[in-house]
Structure 1
């Protein structure tokens, strides 16, 4: 692990913010590291308000989108709400269809089949619209690159409204409206919305025509917060506001589908991290193992009893998904070792029988293991399909763009993408991808990095400081959980490997010059026990965590790494 201590702000800046907010230097430093420099910015950060959201009509084509939907309602047209099969896509479809059904009777949903249609807008979906007399498709979390498909639909008399957040290609589809803050000609002030976030801006714009504001639409924010967490978009600006209020809905009055998922786990108050690891995998499992329609059905169900039944089915898909991705990850690791590819700068693996629904998860696990840009391929109809994952700091989308001569289709983000290619192009692509990454990657990025906010003493770990840290949430990209470094630590003699298989490390640390003891837990870190044993001094990088035991809450270090 590379430990990188973030640069401290200028002393004068820290002192000025301390004075303005009446806080200690540590809190002021953490705020300045997040770009918060004034009292007003701190107020917006600590007290998010739905009035801080931007006017939806600042987004390019929003007026056209609203006008086309109003026309469809006036003319009694059938509207098809179309979205991808992942969490962002299914949450978006649930959000948009629920809202549109509240103002129009002829609203239906469509999720493409991962296996015979693949990602995004499909010809099969357009044919379905044609056969069932749909004249308007609202596509969410997809469509920005569907130039030919949108043109084909237009020839058939079907209009598209696209709500996407992926990077556009050189051309924009010829749709009735294309909402995407990443369009170069879009001046919308916040660029990092997820697909469900763009969908929320559209319903906000529609509702404004009836004199309503975002505060009248809070019931939809549990879906938006779930999509924000699952899609790993930055949790700053508008996303922070949407996630903050979405979590409030999840924790106080979630829709029956999310409530039924939460009933499966014993959790009193969910954070964005819990949404990512508890809610999102279950919703995702439907599209991975069966069909994304199951997720939409769960998320739109209004009856508690039926929602409980659907959540149980989806939980079964999630258990099946876990077993499948564990097996495929093991097979991929064997393939890498067998081919002696440890010295490459990329990981590219393929097996025709691997389950297409879990290759993205497998790619993430391999990236964690080897810490290099990774692609996992499987057979998909007449093509090979892959999920790509990257290491922090390296843009895998750009690397794929440089290999387009070997690719049929691709799309995605900086750190996650998907693509298809012909089987005969696999080896040529594999080499081209390795060559491109070798040319462009900073070799330091191939060693995992821990970014440390501040060096502190154990004496800093107090209930008051923890209460302040909790107000920094919701955490996520652009506002990660603060990570601290403490040196000159000694285990008091209670350190030992723990857990059913003795793979975790638990210790009780004290620091030279203090009388304070703090418990630390390091998951999968039992191999570090030798570093802390027999009173040897060590340093630790950690976040501050609450440990609840028999009704008592104490503070502990959630250890990220230990060095002598």
Structure 2
């Protein structure tokens, strides 16, 4: 038996959902599976689903629905008319870089007298700071327009007013109790803002400002919006879906000098770019500038009109990203050694290992510790806090990542007396504290974890959208599922369950047989499935046994052929009893026997297995059950079907009860999930 690595959580499905899916399938001419997925994603009405699939810029909201938008536009236009110097003030991550770059393009078009400023991550930290405001005032700036920052800068904006600076805030982060007293504060998450979509990235809010200033949606800039929205893990629904979908289409045929240079320097194929390409190919390189050097390098790339300059900028970003990867690998190695030492110390003391991973080191680059925390979370599935220590001051700056059920922001709030500063949300957070507080910090976080989390919370969950049959996994269905792209946060790539599929073939592939390749079947339909880094379990899979597979469908193109393929995320196999047949399945096999009337017993179970798709071990059980219930009788080596058998319940047959009990002992992770989740 092969146990699944995670708890499987199949999304609920009922008759109402089924009826809605049938209506969508008919009205929009979609495969049943694509229609079901739309319903699972919350699009039950035909018009609603059609807008999700095909909606464009005509469905963007009026930017003036955002509170303070009119005041923001008025103040910027006043600056433009007066020739006043304006400074765009951004953030150093990919969303902040995208937001800054977008407004640079817009302000150029409007003819403003402006420049931009992004603080240095290590030297200045996040957001508006007083030294930067003093510098702006000294350089004759009259208006600062923030992008992707500013909503929490109450004191800094009050100081700006003292310096004679006006500030327009555009941001998308959670607002604090006190909103800054600025000329305008544009944020869809403001509690007094009724804007219909709260999920905009910082660059999305900047786009809405641009839409209001230009009196049209600047769709030509959606490639930049696409970058920041995907990089910041914003939900790809509502307006974000429209903007990102448009942005990907523009990237595939872009004339933007910066994106062309970035693609050339990194080997990205722009004509086939997807949200995954942006997330794992482009965004890390844009982020690398702010992590290791200065984010203006990335802005210079995205606003450049000179290809030679852009190539130099793109190449430098690629080199920074490689350096970032090297630094991350080094810190991960040191962190893993530190964690292993903590585990040994706990074992030697006869104690359980810490419930929360808290690791700190001198010289650990604070620009990449969030990535390190994410890697350790993936490996150990525990809340993780990674901190860089300043050797001189003893101050620690950390990044945290969490698991379901452990609210980081609540945990940090409970540790407030130990911290100098903290912020974030349930899944990710940042904090600073002195190294003398680390032991108490770790102890208190671990105590909270043991109080808040149940035994099952320590097991990762796999969310499953739908059950899919092998025969449904064809090229047409995959092409229709692609209509739901772009996939990402809020609209993940469909994760499907193939339940009780018969294993037709298995083999390993790759260097050192690292990967697994399966062929599963149902009747005449077959499907290839690939499990990366799963080669070690190949020998434990039983031929012809049913397997439960969870994964994502894709198209494998090789030598001019296109075939469906499943990328396996997790699997479960408990032998023949892993999936126990229902009454209707017994009935189907019995009907096969009735058509035979009289068949040689030798080889009959194998023949029935081939015809029904059930493993031979299970068809042997069925034959015993039919015999015990007098549905068939065995004479002279033949199975003979009774002409008029007495109606009897399957559960009255001893072989049925024994097999059913065995199957229940081998519950699949899906069955367990219905109890545990």
Q: TM-score range by the shorter chain?
A: over 0.9
Partner in structure 2 of residue 454 of structure 1: 466
Q: Is 1:8 paired with 2:13?
A: yes
Q: What CA RMSD, in Å, does the superposition of the two structures yield over aligned residues?
A: 2.0
Which whole-Å CA distance do the structure 2 matches of 1:58 and 1:492 have between them?
58
Change (3 A) 1:43 1:152: same
* 1:379, distance to aligned residue in structure 2 (A): 2.6
Which whole-Å CA distance do the structure 1 matches of 2:495 and 2:470 have between them?
13
Partner in structure 2 of residue 143 of structure 1: 150
Please tell me whether the aligned partners of residues 166 and 413 of structure 1 are also in contact (alpha carbons under 8 angstroms): no
Which whole-Å CA distance do the structure 2 matches of 1:414 and 1:194 have between them?
18
Please tell me whether the aligned partners of residues 9 and 32 of structure 1 are also in contact (alpha carbons under 8 angstroms): no
Please tell me whether the aligned partners of residues 9 and 29 of structure 1 are also in contact (alpha carbons under 8 angstroms): no
Q: Is 1:123 paired with 2:125?
A: no
Which whole-Å CA distance do the structure 1 matches of 2:517 and 2:237 have between them?
34
Change (3 A) 1:183 1:266: closer
SS at match of 2:144: strand
Q: Deviations over 1:385-435 (max 9, x none)?
A: 111212246442333233333222233344222222233333333333333
Partner in structure 2 of residue 290 of structure 1: 293
Please tell me whether the aligned partners of residues 147 and 172 of structure 1 are also in contact (alpha carbons under 8 angstroms): yes
* 1:270, distance to aligned residue in structure 2 (A): 1.2
Q: Deviations over 1:509-560 (max 9, x none)?
A: 122x422332222122223323435554322111101223244332211110
* 1:472, distance to aligned residue in structure 2 (A): 0.6
| 314-323 vs 521-530, greater mean Cα deviation | 521-530
* 1:168, distance to aligned residue in structure 2 (A): 1.6
Partner in structure 1 of residue 409 of structure 2: 397
Which whole-Å CA distance do the structure 1 matches of 2:542 and 2:260 have between them?
45
Which whole-Å CA distance do the structure 1 matches of 2:78 and 2:320 have between them?
40
SS at match of 2:567: strand
Count of residues in correspondence between the two structures = 555
Please tell me whether the aligned partners of residues 20 and 38 of structure 1 are also in contact (alpha carbons under 8 angstroms): no
Partner in structure 2 of residue 352 of structure 1: 362
Q: Is 1:308 paired with 2:334?
A: no
SS at match of 1:80: strand
SS at match of 1:545: strand
Which runs of 4 or more aligned residues in structure 1 lie more than 6 Å from their structure 2 counterparts after TM superposition?
A: none
Please tell me whether the aligned partners of residues 98 and 299 of structure 2 are also in contact (alpha carbons under 8 angstroms): yes
Q: Is 1:505 paired with 2:538?
A: no
Which whole-Å CA distance do the structure 2 matches of 1:395 and 1:225 have between them?
29
Which whole-Å CA distance do the structure 2 matches of 1:517 and 1:322 have between them?
40
Which of structures 1 and 2 has the bigger CA Rg?
2
SS at match of 1:188: coil
SS at match of 1:330: helix
Partner in structure 2 of residue 277 of structure 1: 280
- TM-score, normalised to structure 2, is 0.79
Structure 1 stretches lacking a partner, 5+ long = none
* 1:60, distance to aligned residue in structure 2 (A): 1.2
Q: Deviations over 1:339-367 (max 9, x none)?
A: 12773332211112111121011011011
Change (3 A) 1:418 1:399: same
Which whole-Å CA distance do the structure 2 matches of 1:261 and 1:337 have between them?
39
| 153-162 vs 528-537, greater mean Cα deviation | 528-537
Q: Deviations over 1:434-489 (max 9, x none)?
A: 33343334553432111111222211111111111010101122211111111333
Please tell me whether the aligned partners of residues 166 and 412 of structure 1 are also in contact (alpha carbons under 8 angstroms): no
Partner in structure 2 of residue 486 of structure 1: 498
Please tell me whether the aligned partners of residues 167 and 413 of structure 1 are also in contact (alpha carbons under 8 angstroms): no
Partner in structure 2 of residue 517 of structure 1: 526
Structure 2 stretches lacking a partner, 5+ long = 1-5, 347-351, 574-677
Please tell me whether the aligned partners of residues 31 and 477 of structure 2 are also in contact (alpha carbons under 8 angstroms): no
What pairs with 1:298-447 in structure 2 (closer than 5 Å)? 298-340=301-343, 343-379=353-389, 382=393, 383-392=395-404, 394-441=406-453, 443-447=455-459
- TM-score, normalised to structure 1, is 0.94
Q: Is 1:99 paired with 2:112?
A: no
What pairs with 1:60-71 in structure 2 (closer than 5 Å)? 60-71=67-78
